[in-house]
Structures are given as C-alpha cells and as structure tokens.
Structure 1
Amino acid sequence: MAGNCCNVETGCSKDTPGGPRFRRALWAALIINAIMFVVEFAASLQSGSVSLLADAIDFLGDAANYIISLTVLSMGMLWRARAAWLKGLTMFIFGIAVLARAGWVVASDITPEPLTMGVIGGLALVANVTVAVMLYAFRSGDADMRSVWLCSRNDAIGNVAVMVAAAGVFGTGQAWPDLVVAGIMGTLALTSGASVMRHARSDLRSVAPEPAVNG
C-alpha cells in the first residue's frame, strides 16, 4: 500500500516507524508503563502525594499512547500524523488536569508521606530511563516517533522532580514542594503536547493532497 514503510519489495528497516526494532521497543515500553501505573497509583493513594499521582496518571496515558502507536505503526504517514496529534492533545489535557488538581489540593492542607514518594519515584525513574534509552534512537523520526520519545523523556524528568519533592517535603514538613513539582509536571505536559501537535500538523500538511487545478 502506498505510504507504508514496509512492503514485499523493499522490506522494512529496523529504525523505520514500522521496523521490528521500533515495534519491540514500543511493546517493552507499553508493558513497563502499565506495570508502573499500577505500582505508582497505589503508592500515591498511600502517601497522599499529588506529584506521585500525576506521575501515575502519566504512566497510564503513556501506555495508552503506545497502544495507539502500535496500532498505526504499519500505516502511512497520514494516519501516524493523526495519531501523533491525538497523543499531543492527550498530553495537553493531562497538563491541564494536573494543574487543576494541584490548585484544588492547595486548600486541603494535606502533607504527603515523603519516604514512599522517594522510593517509588526512584523506581519509576529506573523504569523511565530504561524506556528512554530504548527509544532514544527514534527521537528524530516523524511526529509519531518523536512523541513516544518525548513521553519517555518527560517521564524521566518527572521522576527526578518527584524525588526532589520528596526531599523537600521531608525537610520542610509541608506539602508545598509536592505541589510545586506537580505544577511543573503539568506545565511540561502542556508544552510537550503543544510541540507534538505542531509537529503532527506539519506532517499532515506534508502529506495532504494538493488541490486540483481547474481548466
């Protein structure tokens, strides 16, 4: 089929969107993110941490995004660009939700438990660095490939921030470090989501059919 990177004549390069190396990396990333969502969500409920909850929801969103990527992997550029735009929108909405949640918790006067935050944040960092390393080679591909790299990069940054927040909560005995980090994570999701959507729109324009000329 036209636009498909794999066909009988040419085969498929290991580093192309439909290549076996990229597909294996996506499956591994999907499994890691699904497991870490369960672990981190349970820990966020136990610790009362907003930043940990935000990171858990991000794991869930990434798992869903990897499913989308795997679904459109062998399709043409048009469908991959549409999927990337949808993932960018998901990241953007996630950012809004995190910022809204952090704003609501400001008035609750709940101090999270820092030890759980630090331990689970460290475990999540190991998971996300592993995924980021696997996807690093594909960071300069089309919008869909770039979006999965951005997800893993943002998650690793978020995990470091959660650990910093845990140290801040431990040192101050107050919730504001957790809320500040949640706000940063929400803002990062907003900017990254906007970046992916811009890249996807550029890809969509590049594959859009030219208008017919009358006459």
Structure 2
Amino acid sequence: MADKCCAPPLNLNSTPKQNAAHRRVLWAVLIINAAMFVVEVAAGLAAGSASLQADALDFLGDAANYGVSLFVVGMALRYRATAALAKGVTMGVFGLWVVGTVIWHATHGTLPSAFTMGTVGFAALAANTASFGLLWAYKAGDANMRSAWICTRNDVVGNLAVLLAALGVFGTGAGWPDVVVASIMAGLALQGAAVVIRQAAAELRIGRMAAAE
C-alpha cells in the first residue's frame, strides 16, 4: 500500500490551466508561511520553546520550498523532479536540525512559556489549516506539488502537537513535553523527506527514459 501511495501518477504532464492554478495556490501558501515564520520565530525565542522554534524554522523552509515550486511550475518533468528532490533533502536537513535543538533543550532543562506556546500554536494551526485546504486538491500530483502538500500536512500535525505540548508544560511545570513534541516533529520531517525523495527519484528516472526515446 505504501509503495502504491508513493508511486508517481501516471499523467505527469501539466496543462497551462493547471500551471496557472498551481501558481495561484503556491503564492497563497507562500505568503501565509512567510508571515507565520516572522511571528513564530520571535515567539519561539521569547518563550524558550524548542517546539515553537522548530515550527518557525519549518515555516521558513516551507516558504522557500513553495518559492522553488513556483519557479519550476510548467517546466519539463526533470526540472520539477529535481526541485522536488532538493526539497526532500531540505526537509531531511530540517529534521536533523530539530534533533540537535531537542538535545540542546533537554540538556539545559529549558522551561518554555506555556501561554506563549498555546497562543502562537493556535495562530500557526489556523494558518496551516488554510494552506492544507488550498493544497488538498494537489496531494496526488507530481512530486513538486505533492511535496508542498506533504510539508503542509506535517505542519498541521506539528501545530496540534505544539498545543498538546503547551498543555503538558502548563500541567507539569516541566519542559519535557516540549522536548517530546519537538522530537515528533523531527520524525515527521524525516519521514516526509523520504517520501518526497523516493517519488522525485522515480520521476527523474521516467524523465531520463522519455528523453532517451
């Protein structure tokens, strides 16, 4: 089942109408993610929260990824697949960075602000839910568009986890719920990276075969 879900769609060509639709939705989610990065990076640093800082960096990475997706919309399959491959690698790097952040906060015993985590977490969830809805129609598209949807899917799950972490920090008076959530977000990023890289590699092979014919 997993292999079937990760397989590239049969029709990997795009029409001008589809390209225009892709550009509209990518511009919308790009603006949403760039704005939330500014808000969340400031809140994450002020609150001393590993999960908020991880989520802020994720917003920045997503904004950059959507920008790349916009650039390659309508290009040949090999260019779209190459861009998706680069985005998959970026998602993996993000996951490893969060692992490092988790270790740092766990070692230093940081106690984040539960109120700030909850407030900003709700705002981030609203922003990513809007992005998720906009990208839903493209979740089964080529690797370029699918990677955008996977990023947003991970973000929604991550936002819900941040809210749970805020409740955990508030209830226990300890920082370990924040560390646990940040660890989960790292795992999501690494899993999503594997999916995108696998599909992008498959599409690159298809592109090379088509070029050789």
TM over 0.5: yes
Contact 2:165/2:181, CA 8 A, preserved across alignment: yes
Contact 2:22/2:73, CA 8 A, preserved across alignment: no
**TM-fit CA distance, 1:212:** 7.2
Amino acid at match of 2:40: E
In 1: Cα distance, 2:59 partner to 2:210 partner: 39
1:81-126 Cα deviation digits (max 9, x unpaired): 0000000000000001101110121111220000000010000000
**TM-fit CA distance, 1:209:** 3.5
**TM-fit CA distance, 1:200:** 0.2
Unaligned runs of 5+ in 2: 1-11
**Aligned match of 1:5 in 14, 18, 22?**
14
CA RMSD of aligned residues (A): 1.6
Q: Which has the larger radius of gyration?
A: 1
SS at match of 1:112: coil
* Structure 2 match to 1:33: 33
In 2: Cα distance, 1:186 partner to 1:85 partner: 19
- State how 1:43-122 maps to structure 2 within 5 Å: 43-122=43-122
* Structure 2 match to 1:177: 177
Amino acid at match of 1:109: G
**TM-fit CA distance, 1:5:** 3.4
Unaligned runs of 5+ in 1: 7-11
Amino acid at match of 2:87: K
* Structure 2 match to 1:24: 24
Q: Percent identity at matched positions? A: 51
After the TM superposition, which parts of structure 1 deviate over 2 Å for at least 4 consecutive aligned residues? 3-6, 209-213
* Structure 2 match to 1:126: 126
Amino acid at match of 1:150: I
In 2: Cα distance, 1:137 partner to 1:212 partner: 32
**TM-fit CA distance, 1:4:** 7.0
* Structure 2 match to 1:153: 153
User: What TM-score comes out, normalization by structure 2 length?
Assistant: 0.91
The total of aligned residue pairs comes to 202
Amino acid at match of 1:25: V
